[in-house]
Structure 1
């Protein structure tokens, strides 16, 4: 059956996703950066309160995926801490200056991960050659690749997602970026076996007093009294469609 991974920017969201039937959590911080490494405190609480698999992302900054030696050393320390906390998997990825998989760094990461399942994240969508990257990640022993099919959204990248799914001899191809309740069936119809979604909604801050004219963000137009959180009803509905599809196929 197709698995549904929910991207969660906080433990509260992860708990909501678990209660709604998610199969796995990608735990992140910093949604405006596209997902950064969660704090140690968040990781510890996640291990204590969640029972479904949680795969934290290891990404030290926003922007591209070509990292300095200092950044890479920090990433290795984060991977080691995640492994020591007992997480079953980790989400990571790095490219070289020519937008190919940085095999030297990835070999070190794979050795450091031990038994943890490694998801190579959407750095794949910025790589120079997706088929070459798939072959290299297969050789490295990566468990899955999170990709939009090298397009802005996974729906737009459907053709490449389908092709990669058919030719992959190792990593599971997991579609992500714009996977929603409204287009979920399209991915199921082409045989995608893992889906990644934020399944979120905008929720207002509980604060009654709101200071005007002061922003904590460099973008002063940002609304700091609302944020996106996992919508449990959407997760439950997505799982319902997946289950119905599995029953129909069976």
Structure 2
């Protein structure tokens, strides 16, 4: 019996959150505006979702499309507002114009989180040097997860990178959980599980009607069964 896999589902509102939890999600990533690949939700949305479900929530800290931090003072204020609304886990990631991690921006926001757990998101898939990014972030408080497809275009292209990074578990910069998402499909799961990947992130895969429609509890349950089947294999 291998370790139970974590299933994280993107939720935009209370309806999504309730359906995802009913389907067996372990955690939600809360965002708004998927046309911009996911921005920070309103504090009222976070408060409503926190009241509606009892699974973990990771809340996006991102002001605009792209991977530049933008107005860091504003980001810090947003983080404070979201914490007041009940958020205690976050998702963030900023790059500079050269594709290196914007460490100054990340450190300022992480300081405002005051020890909250957080994920560095798919900005890593746009980084000029993934290994250098990981090493520069090593030791920052609260960083426990990297959300990555292994490549900017998705898991199909990134699978070799994901498998290689899974093999480096425990090395400096590779202690965090590998959360795989971005073009992830069920057929990817056996190889990833076989390599020791224990966390999976879905967005569109949980929405049979596309992003215009809600999360489907049934679609999430299909993923839960598939992951649990791999656990028992």
Give the TM-score of the pair, scaled to structure 1.
0.83
1:50 aligns with 2:53: yes
Secondary structure of residue in 1 paired with 2:208: strand
Query: Per chain length, whose mean CA-contact separation is higher, i.e. which structure has more relative contact order (CA < 8 Å, sep 6+)?
Result: 2
Checking the alignment, whether the CA contact within 8 Å between 1:4 and 1:196 is kept in structure 2 is: yes
| Deviation by residue 1:127-178 (Cα, 9 ceiling, x = unmatched) | 1100111112223241111111024111320111122222243221111111
- Structure 2: give runs of 5+ residues left out of the alignment: none
Shift of 1:182: 4.3
- Superposed, which structure 2 residues align to 1:173-192 within 5 Å? 173-192=178-197
**1:110 offset after TM fit, Å?**
1.7
The Cα shift of 1:88 comes to 2.9
Q: Decide which structure has the larger Cα Rg and report it.
A: 1
**Residue matched to 2:153:** 152
> What's the secondary structure of 2:157's corresponding residue?
coil
Q: Deviations over 1:59-107 (max 9, x none)?
A: 1111x21233xx2211111111222333231011111121111111111
SS at match of 2:139: helix
Q: How does 1:1-250 map to 2 (within 5 A)?
A: 1-62=4-65, 64-68=66-70, 71-141=71-141, 142-169=143-170, 170-198=175-203, 199-202=206-209, 227-248=212-233
CA distance in structure 2 between the partners assigned to 1:148 and 1:46 by the alignment: 27
TM-aligned CA distance change 1:85 to 1:115, over 3 Å: farther
8 Å contact from structure 1 (residues 184, 238) kept in 2: no
Whether contact under 8 Å (2:99, 2:127) holds in the other structure is yes
Alignment TM-score, normalising by the size of structure 2? 0.89
Q: 2: CA distance between counterparts of 1:229 and 1:136?
A: 38
Q: Give the drift of 1:227.
A: 0.9
1:82 & 1:238 partners in 2: Cα distance?
Answer: 29
2 CA distance for matches of 1:177 and 1:48? 28
**How far apart, in 1, do the equivalents of 2:38 and 2:150 lie?**
19
Instruction: Count residues in correspondence.
Output: 223
Of 131-140 and 184-193, deviating more is 184-193
